[in-house]
Amino acid sequence: MRRLLLLATLLSFSLGCGVVPSPEEEATDAAREAARKVGERMYGQSPRTAEEIGRSAAGIDGVEVLRLTGTSTRDKDGVDVVVRTSGSAYEGWLAPEEVTVRRCFTIRVSGTSELGEDPRDVDCPDSPPLAFAPPPEPPRLPYEELRARLPRVPEGGRVDEAEVRRALAGLDLHPAIRSEVKTEGGQVGVLLSVKGNGVDAQDCLLARVGPGDTEVWVPPRMQRMPGEGGCFVAAALAPQPQ
């Protein structure tokens, strides 16, 4: 009798609330949500090649990259990434068992992609996950060399931006290191940076040359995170609180 009452209650609940999704459907939804979060991680990053996108996606736990279509996010159609993710749900009431599925989805990464776009369900390709070589190590930023070459201006003196630029030219910087110089309020600010991946903290050096004061420093990691503004030449002239 108790079992009949339980079945009747479940039937009444199903009729009142609509069809209850199966555990496999719930697990598939979880896998789709995992793929959507991959798209969020890719959103808004600086222009990248298909290989850079694939490497970044493959570095996310539980994500396999199976196919890349396109060459760069600069292209009109961007890059399509086929990823395989997994999702889980539980089946049963008294002794629930976990149901896990693996599903494939296509994520579009381009300059016109919108945040939170739903990935498209696709059949999984009959091929192993793509393998990516590790990214090249970024060049070392010349902290000591920059500090040694920047001019020292006495109190009451005038800072010459051209002299600061000559000091930078003498460093023979690696082509991957970007430099920027700006004069403001009688001081000259300097930025040396390498391209970040849009996710992790960026590598950069800041320097400020002023009368009686020449400084070189690395901003704290939090200030070097994307969107925090620590790796801009303006931060050399007006440092953020640490």
Q: What is the 3-state secondary structure (H, E, C) of 62-99?
A: CCEEEEEECCECCCCCCEEEEEEEEEEEEECCCCCEEE
Give the residue ranges of DSSP H helices in the chain. 2-17, 23-42, 50-58, 143-149, 161-169, 233-237
The two three-digit tokens of residue 70, written as one number? 């396109």
Residue 128 domain-assigned?
A: no
Average pLDDT, rounded, for the chain: 86
Q: What is the mean pLDDT of residues 29-35?
A: 94
Backbone angles phi, psi at 87, to 5 degrees: -145, 155
Q: In the predicted model, is pLDDT for residue 30 greater than 90?
A: yes
Q: Which domain holds residue 65?
A: 22-122
Q: In the predicted model, is pLDDT for residue 214 greater than 50?
A: yes
pLDDT at res. 46: 65
Long-range CB pairs of 20-28, under 8 A, 24+ apart, other chains included: 23/89, 23/90, 23/91, 23/99, 24/89, 24/99, 24/101, 25/89, 26/87, 26/89, 26/99, 27/87, 27/88, 27/89, 27/99, 27/100, 27/101, 28/87, 28/101, 28/103
Angle at 52 between CA 118 and CA 35, to 5 degrees: 20
Residue 127 domain-assigned?
A: no
Q: Are 242 and 236 in contact (CB under 8 A)?
A: no
Q: Do 32 and 97 have their domain in common?
A: yes
pLDDT at res. 45: 62
Q: Do 167 and 217 have their domain in common?
A: yes
Q: What percent of the chain has pLDDT over 70?
A: 87
Q: Do 223 and 149 have their domain in common?
A: yes
pLDDT at res. 37: 92
Q: Do 84 and 167 have their domain in common?
A: no
Q: Do 55 and 95 have their domain in common?
A: yes
Q: In the predicted model, is pLDDT for residue 60 greater than 60?
A: yes
Q: Are 138 and 174 in contact (CB under 8 A)?
A: no
pLDDT at res. 10: 45
Q: Measured between alpha carbons, how far is residue 93 from residues 7, 11, 25, 28, 81 in Å?
A: 12, 14, 17, 20, 38
- pLDDT range class, residue 16, cuts 50, 70, 90: very low
Q: Are 175 and 223 in contact (CB under 8 A)?
A: no
Q: Do 77 and 156 have their domain in common?
A: no
Residue 174 domain-assigned?
A: yes
Residue 48 domain-assigned?
A: yes
| Most confident segment among 26-30, 58-62, 188-192 | 188-192
Q: Do 27 and 108 have their domain in common?
A: yes
Q: Do 182 and 106 have their domain in common?
A: no
Q: In the predicted model, is pLDDT for residue 1 greater than 60?
A: no
Q: Do 109 and 168 have their domain in common?
A: no
User: What domain count does the chain have?
Assistant: 2
pLDDT at res. 23: 85
Q: What is the mean pLDDT of residues 57-64?
A: 92
Q: Do 149 and 198 have their domain in common?
A: yes
pLDDT at res. 115: 72
Residue 189 domain-assigned?
A: yes
Residue 114 domain-assigned?
A: yes
163-201 pLDDT tens trace:
999 999 999 999 999 999 999 999 999 999 998 867 788
Q: Do 111 and 198 have their domain in common?
A: no
Q: Do 95 and 160 have their domain in common?
A: no
Measured CA to CA, the distance from residue 216 to residue 143 in angstroms comes to 7
Residue 102 domain-assigned?
A: yes
Measured CA to CA, the distance from residue 56 to residue 187 in angstroms comes to 39
Measured CA to CA, the distance from residue 41 to residue 57 in angstroms comes to 8
84-126 pLDDT tens trace:
999 999 887 777 888 899 999 999 988 777 676 889 999 999 9
The two three-digit tokens of residue 80, written as one number? 């399509």
